[in-house]
Amino acid sequence: MHRIPLSIVLFMLSQTAVTQTRSTESQPSEPMTVRPAPDTTPHQHHRMHIDMDGMVMNKNSETLPEGCERIAGEAEITVHAGRRHARRFNGKIFAFDRQEWSVQPCTRVRITLVNDDDIRHQLMIHELPVYLHPPFGMFTIELNGKGRKTGTLITPKEKKTYLVHCDVPQHMENGMKAQLKVDGGDGDLSSIPGLTAEETPDHYPVEWSNQAYALLCIAAFTGLTIPFLLRGLLRNRRSTSPTADQKK
Ligand SMILES: [Cu+2]
């Protein structure tokens, strides 16, 4: 009778155990729960500082933008937002107290937003470097009502004009739009109240449907007829009223 070596028997037993474990794993007895992969990127809320009054998103007071060797200077901007600042602009409802700011490149700018209204307003700056202001290159200060909040950013080295606006629906369209020029900026944006021409000027076209033409004809006919009707009425009155001779 052949004798099987003990090592081979042990190897075969271990292989059987592995196969059994794998088959149990591939047939789960309960539904699988898909867990999201651990997020290794910096969390969004780490860039968003929220409290009861509002929030500051993507502030940066330390990291230098590409091309800046050092912080070239410090600047301070206070922006008021509210309805009262729109009074000087015809047809506008909301505005900032100023529509343009100029700052130097590689400058640390401390921005304070003061909300003078009891409704939500924002100060949002666009097209900043995405690596400093992820994921869309935006810096935002938001206030839910009256109050003030401060955030800091470092201006990039490039000569550029940045859009500053309130992103609450219809607030920019109704006047809350401004521009921030770094190193003199690279031009002007459109529709800045009191500063640049409207990109789409107010225009109220008439829809010339058949009904509109019919209404126009009726209005014109009525307008032309009224003088003749009045003249006829007056003539009738004169002819029916007693003359001076008849009175005697
Ligand atoms: Cu607003």
What does the alpha-carbon distance between residue 134 and residue 128 come to, in Å, rounded to a whole number? 9
Does residue 113 form part of some domain? Answer: yes
Q: What is the pLDDT of residues 140-179, one digit of tens each?
A: 999 999 999 999 999 999 999 999 999 999 999 999 999 9
Q: What pTM, to 2 d.p., does this model score?
A: 0.65
Q: Residue 82: inside a domain, yes or no?
A: yes
Say if 85 falls within a structural domain: yes
Residue 63 lies in a domain: yes
73 within some domain:
yes
Distance 187 CA to ligand 1 centre (A): 24
Asked, for residue 247, whether it belongs to a domain, the answer is: no
Q: For the chain, what is the mean pLDDT?
A: 84
What is the DSSP secondary-structure string of 227-246? HHHHHHHHHHHHHHSPPHHH
Is residue 89 classed as helix, strand or coil in its secondary structure? coil
- Determine the distance from the C-alpha atom of residue 195 to the mean position of all C-alpha atoms in its chain, rounded to a whole number: 20
pLDDT 10s digits, 209-231: 999 999 999 999 999 999 999 99
Q: For residue 173, how far is its CA from the centre of ligand 1 (angstroms)? A: 10
Is 168 part of any domain? yes
Q: What is the number of domains present in the chain?
A: 1
Taking the centre of ligand 1 as the mean of its atom positions, its distance from the CA of residue 125, in whole angstroms, is 13
The CATH number for 101's domain is 2.60.40.420
* CA 97 to ligand 1 center in whole angstroms: 12
Residue 127 falls inside a structural domain:
yes
Q: Please, what sign has the CA dihedral across residues 212, 215, 219, 220?
A: positive
55 CA distance to ligand 1 middle (Å): 14
Range of the domain at 81: 54-182
Q: What is the whole-number distance in angstroms between the Cα of residue 121 and the centre of ligand 1?
A: 3
